[in-house]
């Protein structure tokens, strides 16, 4: 035990300083640059996982590896105990660092009260929202299915279904909706006030706003105006009170375009060893179950909305909407409904961060008590 104070001074204390410093500095920079000022956009997976997994290796290799070599370790039989200790120290730093980033996002996220969903575009962006007046319209739900192989030896087959639902300020009553029936086999191009629109939004045109409808059946004339996308003809709708200075990129004023999109995610895992036919059957069954659950739920009933950051889920939900060629929603607002109380949004992330670092540090300190220092080794400076 006579060497223990020296080991604490030359090995454990520097590790403690390095680990606390790097966790605090990285968490602070994440909050300052990405959360508070939103100086630039980085995928959340990179910020909350990959960087915390890679960054600790820099100080460990520079400052801790020389110190670990002061220990009298068994290097027989080709062992590399220094690498094992470095791996342990990496885990002690990386885990709480990853938990801390997730906690910082939820803990610092502001809750904005909105009287109507349309206010979300005019107010500064925040992480969370409570909305008084809105309507999520299930009729225009878009779906996207993703299949992945995972697990040890690729034994798992993961099925993920994303549903994206448009959100409006209010519901349009059926008797005020102007409708146009078209053939599914020969679908024309729809143009409202000079702007190409997806036909899924036609039912959101209030019929009292329609001034005139022009139908171009001639294939050559339609293609000359709008290209090959108009090969099945064009239905041109002009609304009353059209602004003659309307830009081609502006949305038609008579159509209630989605203000934001509400996302839903369903997952199931089956064995990858099953035949492709079985996988297809399981997918169809799971898809039907998801739709039944989705249709039976009241998606307009929740505690608050969580604005999805730049991550894989957001990309998949936007892909679901972008399956309609007339949409381009790379910058769309995507929200997830949350039914839990707002006060519980942090979960146990902070506890996990503190507990993982504390337990790991104590384990390392105890481990040092069983390892001796090499004889006649001089102490090394902290910055070496």
pLDDT band (50, 70, 90) for residue 120: very high
Helices (H) and strands (E) in the chain, counts: 11, 12
pLDDT per residue as tens digits for the range 231-284: 888 888 887 755 444 344 444 444 556 889 999 999 999 999 999 999 999 999
pLDDT band (50, 70, 90) for residue 180: low
pLDDT band (50, 70, 90) for residue 214: confident
Q: Which residue has the higher pLDDT, 29 or 209?
A: 29
Which pLDDT does position 206 carry in this prediction? 64
Structure tokens given for 165:
């639902």
CB neighbour list of residue 180: distance below 8 Å, 6 or more residues apart: 202, 235
Which pLDDT does position 130 carry in this prediction? 96
For residue 81, pLDDT beyond 60: yes
User: Nearest Cα to 160, choosing from 260, 263, 50, 275?
Assistant: 263
Q: Which residue has the higher pLDDT, 339 or 185?
A: 339
CB neighbour list of residue 192: distance below 8 Å, 6 or more residues apart: 205, 237, 238, 239, 252, 254, 255
For residue 378, pLDDT beyond 90: no
For residue 142, pLDDT beyond 50: yes
Buried b (16+ CB within 10 A) or exposed e, 47-74: bbbebbeebbeebbeebbeebbebbebe
Range in 56-65, 225-234, 259-268, 364-373 with the lowest mean pLDDT:
225-234
In Å, how far are 116, 183, 198, 247, 320 from 215, measured between CA atoms?
36, 14, 16, 22, 30
How far apart, in whole angstroms, are the C-alpha atoms of residue 156 and residue 69?
Answer: 42
Which pLDDT does position 140 carry in this prediction? 78
How far apart, in whole angstroms, are the C-alpha atoms of residue 120 and residue 261?
Answer: 12
Which pLDDT does position 78 carry in this prediction? 67
For residue 303, pLDDT beyond 80: yes
Which pLDDT does position 196 carry in this prediction? 81
For residue 90, pLDDT beyond 70: yes
pLDDT per residue as tens digits for the range 321-333: 887 555 556 678 9
Q: What percentage of the chain exceeds 70 in pLDDT?
A: 83
Which pLDDT does position 177 carry in this prediction? 44
Tallying the residues shown for the chain, one arrives at 384
Q: Tell me, yes or no, if the pTM score tops 0.85.
A: no
Highest mean pLDDT among 184-193, 245-254, 290-299, 354-363: 354-363
pLDDT band (50, 70, 90) for residue 182: low
């Amino acid at each position: 035990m006579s060497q223990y104070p020296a080991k604490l001074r030359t090995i454990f204390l520097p590790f403690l300083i390095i680990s606390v410093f790097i966790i605090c500095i990285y968490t602070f920079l994440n909050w300052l640059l990405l959360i508070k000022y939103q100086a630039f956009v980085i995928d959340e997976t990179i910020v909350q996982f990959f960087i915390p997994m890679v960054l600790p290796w820099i100080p460990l290799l520079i400052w801790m590896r020389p110190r670990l070599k002061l220990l009298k370790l068994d290097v027989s039989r080709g062992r590399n105990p220094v690498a094992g200790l470095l791996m342990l120290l990496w885990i002690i730093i990386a885990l709480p660092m990853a938990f801390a980033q997730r906690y910082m996002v939820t803990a610092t996220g502001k809750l904005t009260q909105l009287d109507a969903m349309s206010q979300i575009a005019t107010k500064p962006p925040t992480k969370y929202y409570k909305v008084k007046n809105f309507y999520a319209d299930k009729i225009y739900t878009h779906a996207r299915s993703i299949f992945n192989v995972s697990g040890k030896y690729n034994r798992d087959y993961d099925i993920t279904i994303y549903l994206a639902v448009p959100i409006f300020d209010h519901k349009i009553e059926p008797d005020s909706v102007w409708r146009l029936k078209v053939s599914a086999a020969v679908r024309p191009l729809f143009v409202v006030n000079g702007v190409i629109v997806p036909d899924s939004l036609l039912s959101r045109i209030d019929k009292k706003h329609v001034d005139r409808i022009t139908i171009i059946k001639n294939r050559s004339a339609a293609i000359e105006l709008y290209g090959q996308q108009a090969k099945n003809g064009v239905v041109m709708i002009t609304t009353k009170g059209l602004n003659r200075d309307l830009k081609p990129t502006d949305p038609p004023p008579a159509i209630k375009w989605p203000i934001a999109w509400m996302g839903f995610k369903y997952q199931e895992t089956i064995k990858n060893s099953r035949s492709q036919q079985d996988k297809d059957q399981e997918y169809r069954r799971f898809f039907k179950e998801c739709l039944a659950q989705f249709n039976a739920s009241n998606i307009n009933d929740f505690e608050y909305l969580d604005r999805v950051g730049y991550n894989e889920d957001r990309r998949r939900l936007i892909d679901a909407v972008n399956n309609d060629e007339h949409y381009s929603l790379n910058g769309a607002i995507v929200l997830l409904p949350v039914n839990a109380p707002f006060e519980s949004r942090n979960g146990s992330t902070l506890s996990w961060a503190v507990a993982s670092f504390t337990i790991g540090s104590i384990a390392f300190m105890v481990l040092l008590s069983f390892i001796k220092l090499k004889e006649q080794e001089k102490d090394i400076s902290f910055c070496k």
